[in-house]
Amino acid sequence: MELKIIVLTLFIIAANAEKVSYEGYSLYKVTPTRENHLILLKDVQKKGVGEFWEDPLYLNYEMRIMVAKENKVLFKSMLGKSGMVIEETIKDLQRAIDDQLKPAQRSAQDSHLFLSMNWNQYYSLEEINNWLDEVEKNYPTIVTSVTMGQSFENRQIKGIIINYRPGRNNLIGMLQGTLHAREWITTATITWIIKEFLTSTDREVRALAENFQWHLFPVVNPDGYVYTFTTNRMWRKNRSTQSFTSCLASGVSNDLSNGVDLNRNFDYAWMTLGTSDNPCTQVYAGPAAFSEPETRAISNYILGLNREGRFIYFIDFHSYTQLICISYSDVNGTDVLLAENYADMYEIAARGAAKIENSHATRYRVGVAADILYPMSGTSFDWAKYAARIPISYLIELRDLGQYGFLLPPEQIIPNSVEIMDALLVMDKTARYMGYYSGSQSIICSFSIILIGVLVALIN
Ligand SMILES: [Zn+2]
């Protein structure tokens, strides 16, 4: 009996270790607009006809479905009668995956080599961590490397602190990437920001770099990130095996029951909206809030920083769909005012988005997730806003709008990063004018209300 279990376990490990090939797969875009569309999509998933980038939970939300060659006819016939428009966005998925690993061709003057990294390609976890060490070694008085904790598979969650004024700086900002493993562009964006903070001669970049103690974590889900390189490019969750189970009834591979969606595992409105208690889904919230070592590490780190100084900015980068999401993600309508500085956060984000659109013609939308994406609960940025009282907390969904989605070509790393840096500069300037550096934003807010009152009185 024991031998059988060992053989079965080895078989499962071997099956999981094999690299998933998407040869012959196409990627399709569909938008469910009626309840029966969602029922139909759930049926497609349950029968294993398509593999979903996200679970079919929301109406009017553009979804991506990967379909193997042998299932394409059945897929089209199942959805064909529903009236849903099916659009093939990537013809050869494996080729798009392979292409993403080929460095972009750029002229020498467009190259942005900084130590061992450039932004013409995506890097493995090992390469990123080595580069962080290199950065620390080259800027010993400004940069300190830091490990916020260990992952489920015991990898370090590594980042760096950039502090130009040690001992004097009490303004704190934190940026994190790849909470969702497959969203590679988020990691490249954070390493770009690190490079800019250390090397840019632009006056505004210098001010943003030097006014803050920055805590920058390119990969907060290291196990998932490694898994996207070694085994399954489309992996989203962490690699926890605690809830391993058969997914036969869900129509997905049993491997999907491994892992928790880390951006549903934080202790803010946990397990209420846009999430699932079924381990065989992409949005599995975990057996309990903070059940995962990665979310515990992030939250403990944030609480620790909060005791050290004035923690003003927290940004959790994701991809894709080009959005700046404002807390809180489980509300809309007038309930958005539950976030006491909602209007400020909206204004700051809107100015950032306007800058991106005016300077780079890339359109970002701004709002609460329930309005511009879908309602969510248990997210890191909502928890940071709610539990750690960080005044300005965003989730930013980077490029693109779905043409490549998670497979954003390396040619777009630099344009993406440049426009985000431009947005951050404008957002910071706006927050500074509003008084967030001095903690006097409430005074400014009250002053504005009095001023508006006086003007209304004068008009009347
Ligand atoms: Zn994400």
Distance CA(23)–CA(91), nearest Å, equals: 10
For residue 423, report the distance from its CA to the centre of ligand 1, in Å.
20
> Per CATH, is 112-227+287-443 categorized as 3.40.630.10?
yes
Q: What is the pLDDT of residues 172-227, one digit of tens each?
A: 999 999 999 999 999 999 999 999 999 999 999 999 999 999 999 999 999 999 99
Spacing, Cα 180 to ligand 1 middle (Å): 5
**Residue 202, pLDDT score:** 98
Domain 24-91 matches domain 112-227+287-443 at the CATH topology level: no
- Alpha-carbon distance of 375 to 369, in angstroms, equals 6
| pLDDT band at 231; cut points 50, 70, 90 | very high
Instruction: Output the CA 168–ligand 1 centroid distance in Å.
Output: 35
Percent of the chain predicted with pLDDT > 90: 82
Q: Say yes or no to pLDDT of 1 above 80.
A: no
| Domain regions of the chain by residue span | 24-91, 112-227+287-443
With respect to CATH, is domain 24-91 assigned 3.20.20.30? Answer: no
- Give yes or no: 292 in active site: no
SS3 170: coil
Residue 149 has pLDDT above 60, yes or no: yes
Whole-number pLDDT of residue 218 = 98
Stated as kind and residue range, the H or E segment containing 451 is helix 441-459
Q: Is pLDDT above 80 for 419?
A: yes
At 255-289, the pLDDT tens digits run 999 999 999 999 999 999 999 999 999 999 999 99
Q: Which of 13-22, 326-335, 392-401, 442-451 has the highest mean pLDDT?
A: 392-401
311-331, pLDDT tens digit by residue? 999 999 999 999 999 999 999
Helix intervals (H) in 83-202: 93-100, 125-138, 184-199
Which pLDDT score, from 0 to 100, does residue 440 have?
67
pLDDT of residue 334: 87
Average pLDDT over residues 380-397: 97
Predicted local distance difference test score (pLDDT) of residue 399: 98
Cα–ligand 1 centroid distance for 262 (angstroms): 9
CA of 412 to the centre of ligand 1 (A): 18
Average pLDDT of the segment spanning 93-101: 96
**pLDDT of res. 2:** 45
Quote the tokens at residue 236.
Answer: 């989203």
pLDDT digit string, tens, across residues 54-67: 888 888 889 999 99
Query: What pLDDT is stored for residue 118 in this prediction?
Result: 94
**CA-CA distance, 290 to 47, in Å (whole number)?**
32
The angle at the Cα of 368, spanning 365 to 372, to the nearest 5 degrees, equals 45
Ligand 1 centroid–CA 35 distance in Å is 25
- Residue 106's SS3 state is coil
The pLDDT of residue 168 is 79
pLDDT of residue 310 exceeding 50, the answer is yes
Ligand 1 centroid to 107 CA: how many Å? 32
Task: Determine the pLDDT at residue 34.
Answer: 93
Residue 15: per-residue pLDDT? 46
What average pLDDT is seen over the chain?
Answer: 91
**Predicted pLDDT of residue 388:** 95
User: What pLDDT is stored for residue 111 in this prediction?
Assistant: 77
The predicted pLDDT at position 201 comes to 97
Supply the pLDDT for residue 57.
84
Catalytic option among 183, 397, 411, 419: 397
Range 386-406 average pLDDT: 96
Q: What local confidence, expressed as pLDDT, does residue 14 receive?
A: 42
Sign of CA dihedral 377, 379, 385, 389: positive
Q: DSSP E strands: which ranges in 53-192?
A: 63-67, 87-90, 143-150, 156-163, 171-176
Tokens found for residue 258:
């491994």
